Chain A
Amino acid sequence: MTAPARTTSTATRRPRRSGVRSGEAASGWLFITPVIVLLGLFLVLPVVMAAWVSLSDWTGRGSPFSDDVSFVGGQNYSDLLFGGGLATQDFGTALRNNAWYVVLVVPIQTALSLFLAVMVNRKVLRGSSFFRTAFYFPSVTSSVAITVLFLFLFSATGAVNKTLSALSVNGPNWFADPRGVVHLGLGAVGVDQAPSALAGSGFLGISAWQWLAGPSVAMCVLILMAVFTTSGTFMLLFLAALQHISDEVDEAALMDGTSNWQRFRYVTLPMLRPTLFTVMTLGLIGTWQVFDQIYTGTQGGPAKTTVTPAYLSYTASFQSQQWGRGAAIAFILFAIIVVMTILQRQAIRGRGGDAT
């Protein structure tokens, strides 16, 4: 596309002399080289190394490329996916936890940020910049600081339980409660034990009953934390998009006599489709990688209900010294993220068909 020496230049285009051209090419390469080196060394090379480690039996001492380390093919992957032992169970548990996290966080944060954006978008609203600031501030802080804050707020004698007790509700011991929310709900209607159909061994070493356990109470706090910290960022994305929707379109809709809700649903929402897609994609990518909050707050507990694949990859490598397994988990996670993103792109494109 950038054909260097063949432009049919007119007098007004840049006078191309080979001296200037080669100087430009040299400068171009010079300018871009540091970034290429950095990205190559610290993005490409690591991925290549990790791929090798995931296919080898490196135990953690010395270089992964030394002669002692041998190629074991897909054994690490098959141990994880088909082995059935503790490795598989842990991986299944991590996937289950993260899946529930994603399923809850992405819709909630999308809906909440859209709601906030719509509310804040009203132009007669005075102090809208105050509201924008308030909602966006949590996104600026570090996940570590927020986790520490939530550890305090949701402790057994913390602010949240104090507020709940003022409403005569006995709050659970949030971060120490491993009971799944769905199980709790089912227990409330009398289903206390696993029905025999679901109790057997299911997918990835975890029974279907355990898959359906829902996020644990501790995980719910993490879900709240995620929504709290990301709704501000996405609110801004929606705000920008809303402001680009020309007022003429809205007025036309109004003139047709539509109600507010109809207008929102049939006019505004479709025009927000690209932003919706962006928000949901970013949400998906972010939620499948949750690590910082687990490391700081719960370290996988209680009862392994907040272990996520990212955290499991870390502990398998750095604590159990199973480096091949840790790398394999990371790549499986990569694959999951890519597949999810593609699926989601299809889903959004399919509904309505307009290519934006």
Chain B
Amino acid sequence: MTRTNSSRHHRLAGPATIAAAVLALTACGGGSGFDDPTPGATADPTTTEEPTSGEDPGLTGEISVLIGSSGDAETDAVSAAVAAWSEQTGVPAEVNVASDLNQQLSQGFAAGDPPDLFYVSTDNLAGWASNGSLLAYGDQLTNVDDFQPSLRENFTYDDQLFCAPKDFSTLALVINTDAWADAGLGDDDVPTTWDELAAVAATLTTDGQVGLSFGPEYQRIGVFMAQAGGGLVSEDGTTAVADSAENVQALEFVQQLMSDGVVAYPSQIGAGWGGEAFGSGAAAMTIEGNWIIGALRNDFPDTSYQVVELPAGPAGQGTLQFTNCWGIAADSDSQDAARDLVEFLTSTEQQIEFATAFGVMPSVQSAADAFAEQFPEQAAFIASAQFAGGMPTAQGAVDVIADFNAQLEALASSSAQDILGSVQTNLQAALDAQG
């Protein structure tokens, strides 16, 4: 009984202490929570204001990097690069892969404790730049002029370059050369028009294999809309043009392919995404971007493929281009070190290394030639950049596109006009709201 006596006394002390501690924390937490730090003003007073570059031994801090990886290839490549920089500069850095990048970043921003460096897509730039979560450091980079102009454009908000584009990809048509040969097709049969695409897909559709597969999202189906001469937002970015006749034509073309049974979504053939459908042989062709190269090499090394430019539609060739940038948090304590890391990661040599590892295209012009030389199999991706269009960057557009994607999942049984009509309404509302 005496043993329980003392343990009970201790246990009584325990909760009392906890209660007191919690109350104290409330006071402290409340205090620090009330003075809201203005964004950008969290500069560490010990570091200088000029941008540091190269291997500056005076860099301090600790960097946490959060990435949304497309697979092991990308994770390993980024981790290796960051580790190399870390050794060089002596600043500890750690790479984490996000299971849901947006959610984790949102949570981090809201908690005032975000990672220092992370991927930012064109979708999120407007939202996070406008609420002060991002540091606008782009103009302070030493290699700022090396970036492709169109990519710089994508990440400029309020006339400031918020972040450095890390790479870009375009969408192209990936063909399974074995299935191609089995179906008796040759080099001349590479489709250059919509009709040819439909014909080739039909030829390639067999019992266990569907001719063409791509994800049920604007980020894939949008290529058809571009090829028909349509798009989502007007040139000047103020008007939504989603319900144009060209877009309807594009969606109806896709519907026709689906009803003919030559096109299926990956989920319908037991795959998680187009690359998996292609690699596992469930689909003979897919529409994907550069990242498929690394994924195929890692997960489906036995599938032989060829990348060709997407066929032209009624209005010529068109495709989509995607890019992400390295965002630095305004709340970060190690901004200078983070900037230095970004310069390292976007340097010519490093970008070629990433290109080798998981097949993205470098965002700097100085690496373009080396890339084209080294990766002839990705020639189609680079060539497609000529006629590629980007995703809408207006704030709120990402939600509209998410809704569009939700409706596209049911494209086979819906009316293209209705879908596009609702997208038009929502998109115009979003464009109007951002004024």
Contacts and interface: CB of A to CB of B under 8 A. Distances in A.
Given a CB threshold of 8 Å, the question of whether A touches B is answered with yes
Interface of A: 33-34, 37-38, 41, 59-63, 65-68, 85-86, 89-90, 155-157, 173, 175-176, 178-179, 301-304, 317-321, 323
A157 B270 contact: yes
Interface stretch (B100-108, B251-259, B304-312, B386-394): B100-108
B39 interface: yes
B268 A176 contact: yes
Interface stretch (B18-26, B84-92, B168-176, B374-382): B18-26
B127 A321 contact: yes
B410 interface: yes
B9 to A, nearest CB: 14
Contact of B267 (A86, A176, A179, A320): A176
A178 B409 contact: yes
Nearest to B398: A320
Query: Which 3 A/B pairs are nearest by Cβ-Cβ distance?
Result: A66-B36, A62-B36, A63-B33
6 contacts: A33-B19, A61-B110, A61-B131, A67-B36, A86-B399, A318-B107
Contact of B109 (A60, A66, A173): A60
A303 B406 CA distance: 4
Nearest to B411: A303
Contacts of B107: 318
B348 interface: no
Contacts of A63: 33-34, 36
Interface string B419-431: 0001001100110
Contacts of A318: 103, 106-107, 110
B110 A323 contact: yes
B19 A65 contact: no
A301 B107 CA distance: 22
Interface residues of B, number: 43
Interface in B354-394: none
Contacts of A173: 267-268
Given A60-B131, A61-B112, A61-B132, A66 B34 contact: yes
Given A63-B33, A318-B103, A85 B410 contact: no
Contacts, number: 99
Given A62-B36, A319-B106, A156 B429 contact: no
Interface string B264-281: 010111100000000000
B131 A321 contact: yes
A37 B109 contact: no
Interface of B: 15-16, 18-19, 22-23, 26, 33-37, 39, 100, 102-103, 106-107, 109-110, 112, 127, 131-133, 265, 267-270, 399-400, 403, 406-407, 409-410, 413, 422, 425-426, 429-430
B214 to A, nearest CB: 15
Contacts of B19: 33-34, 37
Given A61-B132, A90-B403, A173-B267, 17 more contacts: A37-B19, A37-B22, A41-B26, A60-B106, A60-B133, A61-B39, A61-B109, A61-B133, A63-B33, A65-B34, A66-B33, A68-B36, A85-B429, A157-B270, A303-B409, A318-B107, A321-B127
B409 A62 contact: no
B381 to A, nearest CB: 29
Given A37-B22, A61-B112, A319-B106, A304 B36 contact: no
A318 B127 CA distance: 13
B413 A179 contact: yes
Contacts of A175: 267
B110 A66 contact: no
B429 A86 contact: yes
Interface centre among A86, A179, A304, A317 (most CB of B within 10 A): A86
Given A60-B110, A86-B399, A179 B36 contact: no
Nearest to A323: B110
A323 B111 CA distance: 13
B403 A304 contact: yes
Contact of A302 (B16, B270, B409): B409
B426 A86 contact: yes
A37 B426 CA distance: 45
Nearest to B265: A176
A321 B130 CA distance: 12
Nearest to A183: B413
A239 B23 CA distance: 45
A86 B403 contact: yes
A302 to B, nearest CB: 5
- Greatest chain B CB density within 10 A among A33, A41, A303 is at A303
A175 B100 CA distance: 20
Contacts of B425: 85
- The interface centre, meaning the residue of A317, A319, A323 with most chain B CB atoms within 10 A of its CB, is A319
B367 to A, nearest CB: 33
A318 B409 CA distance: 24
A338 to B, nearest CB: 28
A58 to B, nearest CB: 9
Nearest to A67: B36
A175 B15 CA distance: 47
B351 to A, nearest CB: 30
B343 to A, nearest CB: 27
A319 B34 contact: no
Contacts of A41: 22, 26
